[in-house]
Amino acid sequence: MEEEKKFKPYISPNENPPEFTPVSVILGILLAVIFGAANAYLGLRVGMTVSASIPAAVISMAVTRVLLKRSSILESNMVQTIGSAGESLAAGAIFTMPVLFLWSEEGKAASPDLLSITLIALCGGLLGVMFMIPLRNALIVKEHGILPYPEGTACAEVLLAGEKGGSTAASVFIGMGVAAVCKFIVDGLKIIPGVITAPIKALKTEFSIEVYPALIGVGYICGPKVSSYVFAGGVLGWFVLIPAIVVFGAGTTLFPGTDPIRDMFASGGAGAIWSSYIRYVGAGAVAAGGIFSLVKSMPLIATTFVGALKGIKDANSDSEERTEKNLDMRLVIGAIAVIALLIWLLPQVPVSLPGALLIVLFSFFFGAVASRIVGLVGSSNNPISGMTIATLLLATLIMKLTGQTGIKGMVGAIAVGSVVCIVAAMAGDTSQDLKTGFLLGATPKKQQIGELIGAVVAAIAIGGVLVLLNSAWGFGTKELAAPQASLMKMIVEGVMDGNLPWAFVFIGVFIAVTIELLGIPVLPVAIGLYLPLELSSTIMLGGVIRYVIDRRGKKGKDESSSGILLCSGMIAGEGIVGILLAILSVTGVADKLDLSGVMNLGLVGSIILLAIMVVCVLYSHKLKRR
């Protein structure tokens, strides 16, 4: 307690520099839309998302300081606070929302409209922010020095570096430019294939790698250890399970396949075996991994929940200090009650009033858990998938037991899961942003208003982004595999209809059990098993680059920070061009840009891949040495 009283933020509580200004709000809203759309695109492609707080902070510094000649660090912090809200809401939405589009494509349900998507996302987004207001005192203030909140602390360091004269914005913008050009050449002009594949006939499989900068960026940011876990899952699926199925299955026809395995492999290659069997194994592994992470967090969940309830008592403190002022708790409780009523009244969420209150209670529970977990291990390790799987299993069972079977019950379960999933994602991001503000001396009340603005803007934008992407390519396709949403769809349908190939699912479950017994993190390996090999191999390439950079640095010193900014820019740049190409596809312009019939450079794609690698290595190392 004495330690927290001694803590002095960068900006004194007695100072009152510009913070919540028209410039910061407008720029924050723009970044919320941009990073929200980019993260939605990335998550739908590879099933993984990344934090946008640091690149948003860098861009806000570049615009406010360099272009607008404004000097308030709290104004830059407000920009990243609003901007990162869009990324986190999108990360939660893409786990579940695309399922509604997949059912529409199958003719099982009506196509979801923009209003429905927006209202469900809005309920989750606002609840995620509201729950962190009473939790701030318990988790951010009282546990300062105990919960590090890695992304929040790193974001504060970036803003402080800019305040002291350093500028790292160039890294982000160069990364955005490199990725934008590569993405446009590969998927816009289509003169270079996006995937390089090498058949391995003796082993009855193939090796493949994608030519996309964002995947290298994901691997670089995750680091060599996590990337190697993801790649290990890919190796297990494509170099162990697929050859075993082809060799031992031969002329056998296994459900859910409809042809003999030998014929499937002859016509569709290893990809056909993966699509028919391995993705179910991966689904079982991911589901088990998510549940393991949840079970292991139960002691933490219990202490967090008790601490959160105690922290509410102190949340309405009448402190005179600017840095301790939160939104009025009466307003917060009233808003939560209104959202609970909205959930009850929404036709898209077929629950009773007690059911709506139960959803709010679940959301508070998982929001508190998510906040504490990201405080300890960072947003990348937030077990949102495990929380969502647990919620979907319970929601689907309740729907089934109360007579709401078939597609109506499944849509209701997905709507419930969407709210809880978005709450967990938003709570984690909000807590990181509040930690940044705590270190810098921001006004909590103003930050909380900024988070609410970001949540509203992102909720409105995410519906348009999902409709646009679905119209351009469709979910569950090669362009947008939507792996997390496909997994959630399988779980809900499996519980409701009992039509899953349970043998393959349980093989995945026991693979996860084996991995857990070996003491290896289950989820990254399971995700690699669930994803196509070309994704995990490119992610591994990014991890290798990070390993080389860190090894060349001074012993015990991180040499990769500028590379992380570069790769964050690459992810944002590819996502933005992906959204642009989706617009061009819907409007019919994309066909006119397609030069694949005129020119096809083939293996030049591998040269581009090497060029991206060289840029990452040399540029990040050069900046760090400088």
pLDDT in tens, 437-464: 998 999 999 999 999 999 999 999 998 8
When pLDDT is cut at 50, 70 and 90, the band that residue 180 belongs to is confident
Q: What is the pLDDT of residue 516?
A: 92
Q: What is the pLDDT of residue 69?
A: 76
Strand-pair partners of 523: none
> Does 26 have pLDDT greater than 90?
yes
Q: What is the pLDDT of residue 252?
A: 86
> Does 511 have pLDDT greater than 90?
yes
Q: Say whether 111 sits in a helix, a strand or coil.
A: coil
**Between residues 556 and 95, the one the model is more confident about:** 95
CA-to-CA distance for 34 and 63, rounded, in angstroms?
15
Give the mean model confidence (pLDDT) for residues 357-374. 80
> In this prediction, what percent of the chain has a pLDDT beyond 70?
86
> Does 233 have pLDDT greater than 90?
yes
Question: Smallest Cα–Cα separation from 44: which of 611, 485, 435?
Answer: 485
When pLDDT is cut at 50, 70 and 90, the band that residue 2 belongs to is very low
Q: What is the pLDDT of residue 164?
A: 59
Q: What is the pLDDT of residue 298?
A: 67
Per-residue pLDDT of 187-198, as tens digits, reads 888 888 888 888
Q: Work out the burial of residue 307: count CB atoms within 10 Å of its CB; fewer than 13 is exposed, 13-18 middle, 19 or more buried.
A: middle
**Residue type for 291, please?**
I
**Between residues 60 and 434, the one the model is more confident about:** 434
Question: Smallest Cα–Cα separation from 48: which of 392, 387, 524, 576?
Answer: 524
CB 423 within 8 A of CB 367: yes
State the alpha helices, DSSP H only, in 297-352: 298-314, 329-345
**189-198, 389-398, 505-514: range with highest mean pLDDT:** 505-514
> Does 127 have pLDDT greater than 90?
yes
> Does 386 have pLDDT greater than 70?
no
Per-residue pLDDT of 129-156, as tens digits, reads 998 888 887 778 877 777 778 678 777 8
Q: What is the pLDDT of residue 308?
A: 56
What DSSP character marks residue 379?
A: G
**Between residues 81 and 221, the one the model is more confident about:** 81
CA-to-CA distance for 395 and 274, rounded, in angstroms?
29
Q: Which of 345-349, 500-504, 587-591, 602-606 has the lowest mean pLDDT?
A: 602-606
The CA-based dihedral angle spanning residues 347, 352, 356, 359, taken in that order and rounded to the nearest 10 degrees: -100
Q: Which of 103-112, 538-547, 560-569 has the lowest mean pLDDT?
A: 560-569
Q: What is the pLDDT of residue 130?
A: 92
Give the mean model confidence (pLDDT) for residues 566-577. 77
Question: Smallest Cα–Cα separation from 219: which of 621, 609, 623?
Answer: 609
Q: Which of 68-77, 480-489, 505-514, 601-610 has the lowest mean pLDDT?
A: 601-610
> Does 560 have pLDDT greater than 70?
no
> Does 572 have pLDDT greater than 80?
no
Give the mean model confidence (pLDDT) for residues 393-408. 84
> Does 583 have pLDDT greater than 70?
yes
Q: What is the pLDDT of residue 623?
A: 57
> Does 318 have pLDDT greater than 80?
no
Reading the block at residue 575, the tokens are 């996502």
> In this prediction, what percent of the chain has a pLDDT beyond 90?
21
**Between residues 254 and 305, the one the model is more confident about:** 254
When pLDDT is cut at 50, 70 and 90, the band that residue 339 belongs to is very high
CA-to-CA distance for 386 and 431, rounded, in angstroms?
20
Question: Smallest Cα–Cα separation from 430: which of 30, 124, 96?
Answer: 124
Q: How high is the mean pLDDT of the chain?
A: 81
DSSP 517-549: HTT--HHHHHHHHHS-HHHHHHHHHHHHHHHHH
> Does 203 have pLDDT greater than 70?
yes
Q: What is the pLDDT of residue 369?
A: 72
Q: What is the pLDDT of residue 304?
A: 55
Which helix (DSSP H) or strand (DSSP E) does residue 180 occupy?
helix 169-183
Q: What is the pLDDT of residue 20?
A: 92
Q: What is the pLDDT of residue 447?
A: 94
CA-to-CA distance for 313 and 316, rounded, in angstroms?
7
Strand-pair partners of 196: 209
Q: What is the pLDDT of residue 487?
A: 80
Q: What is the pLDDT of residue 87?
A: 80
Strand-pair partners of 200: 205
**Between residues 568 and 527, the one the model is more confident about:** 527
Q: Work out the burial of residue 347: count CB atoms within 10 Å of its CB; fewer than 13 is exposed, 13-18 middle, 19 or more buried.
A: exposed
* One-letter-per-residue 3-state SS of 196-216: EEEEEHHHCEEEEEECCHHHH
Give the mean model confidence (pLDDT) for residues 408-429. 90
Give the mean model confidence (pLDDT) for residues 532-541. 89
pTM equals 0.74
> Does 297 have pLDDT greater than 90?
no
Q: Work out the burial of residue 122: count CB atoms within 10 Å of its CB; fewer than 13 is exposed, 13-18 middle, 19 or more buried.
A: buried
**Residue type for 244, please?**
A
Spatial neighbors of 345 by CB under 8 A, at least 6 apart, are none
CA-to-CA distance for 412 and 396, rounded, in angstroms?
8
CA-to-CA distance for 370 and 329, rounded, in angstroms?
21
Q: What is the pLDDT of residue 239?
A: 96
